[in-house]
């Protein structure tokens, strides 16, 4: 039993180190969400920090409400891409664990 606990602690420490490394990588991994056929783009890292917002010149005009909607849609597209990227990144780490159904990393 003692060896089992030691092995479990070793695995937990390794997983903690892997998660720290993955979180550092996420800060530099960038994704871009788009809307309006690419006329509005939002680029963010995998920590949901927005790095850039690009708006095509043609979009800057009288229709403020439409532009606001397109910026929101581009942001939401980027956020979905972040979630997908993070899920993919952490799925390998979780595969070695016997997590209950519905529980996912990062917690």
- Alpha-carbon distance of 19 to 36, in angstroms, equals 36
In the predicted structure, residue 107 carries a pLDDT above the cut 50:
no
pLDDT digits (tens, 9 = 90+) for 42-96: 999 999 999 999 999 999 887 999 999 999 999 999 999 999 998 887 776 666 5
21-42 average pLDDT score: 93
5-22 average pLDDT score: 84
* CATH superfamily, domain at 27-93: Nucleoid-associated protein YbaB-like domain (3.30.1310.10)
- Alpha-carbon distance of 73 to 56, in angstroms, equals 15
Boundaries of every domain in the chain: 27-93
In the predicted structure, residue 5 carries a pLDDT above the cut 50:
yes
Q: Are 29 and 85 in contact (CB under 8 A)?
A: yes
What pLDDT is stored for residue 64 in this prediction? Answer: 92
Give strand ranges (E) for 24-92. Answer: 30-35, 40-45, 50-55
């Amino acid at each position: 039993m003692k060896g089992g606990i030691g092995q479990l602690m070793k695995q937990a420490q390794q997983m903690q180190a892997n998660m720290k490394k993955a979180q550092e990588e996420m800060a530099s991994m960038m994704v871009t969400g788009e809307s309006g056929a690419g006329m509005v783009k939002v680029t963010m890292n995998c920590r949901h920090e927005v790095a850039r917002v690009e708006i095509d010149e043609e979009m800057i005009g009288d229709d403020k409400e439409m532009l606001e909607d397109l910026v929101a849609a581009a942001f939401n597209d980027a956020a979905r891409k972040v979630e997908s990227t993070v899920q993919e990144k952490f799925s390998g780490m979780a595969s070695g664990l016997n997590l209950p159904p519905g529980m996912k990393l990062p917690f």
